[in-house]
Chains A and B, each alone.
Chain A
Amino acid sequence: GAVVSQHPSRVICKSGTSVKIECRSLDFQATTMFWYRQFPKQSLMLMATSNEGSKATYEQGVEKDKFLINHASLTLSTLTVTSAHPEDSSFYICSARAGATNTEAFFGQGTRLTVV
């Protein structure tokens, strides 16, 4: 199947700093990428949808100025957690699809963020 690579897999940062997470589609062009967050023992929650070359669409309750998403190319989307706080500590996962909405979305390996 298609491969989506997410980096870094694990990051620890100090409170108040920013962290950038990259999501790359390695063998296909991803017109749409999705960013999810998963807290312990909870379900994955969609944070935002990004389409290449346009602004991301954020889900209700997700601060767009705090979680900056850039999808500048068909193979790369980035999520930057700005001014991170301990409550931002979570598992962040991206997914990407190649084409129409009925095509499968493939997930990256996830990034475990710990803010201390």
Chain B
Amino acid sequence: RKEVEQDPGPFNVPEGATVAFNCTYSNSASQSFFWYRQDCRKEPKLLMSVYSSGNEDGRFTAQLNRASQYISLLIRDSKLSDSATYLCVVSLTGGGNKLTFGTGTQLKVEL
């Protein structure tokens, strides 16, 4: 079983749609959780950290369920510029330590 599992997609959605991505992780000792965004052939960039209480940053909302070892990302009012691969990332300690990446979920926002 992979340490971090994601549906690879692609998710093709129209502009303005709401889309949700899910992720599960296998190591219950994981302490830190993140969503990264990776554009084609580029380095990953931190989108947001994920907290147990859930957190929101503009059109993006992240949720964490420790009991189910499940993380989600919701994107509202999708923009063309949101097209990218979204990586679910976990760490046993903090975000500056060893990160374990999922394979990513590809999102394509279309006109």
Contact = CB atoms under 8 A, between A and B. Distances in A.
A43 interface: yes
B99 A109 contact: no
A6 B44 CA distance: 13
B95 A109 contact: no
A103 B95 contact: yes
B45 A107 contact: yes
Contacts of B4: 43
A43 B94 contact: no
Interface string A99-110: 111111101111
B98 A102 contact: no
Contacts of B99: 34, 44, 46, 95, 105
A32 interface: yes
Q: Is the interface of B mostly helix, strand, loop or mixed?
A: loop
B35 to A, nearest CB: 13
A112 B43 CA distance: 11
A110 B32 CA distance: 24
Interface in B84-111: 87, 93-104
Size class of the B contact interface (CB-based, 8 Å): 20 to 34
Contact of B104 (A36, A43, A97, A102): A43
Contacts of A41: 8, 103
A101 B41 contact: no
B1 interface: no
A43 B95 contact: no
A54 interface: no
Interface in B20-57: 32, 41-46
Q: Which 9 A-B pairs have the closest CB atoms?
A: A102-B94, A97-B96, A101-B94, A107-B43, A101-B97, A43-B101, A103-B96, A44-B101, A43-B103
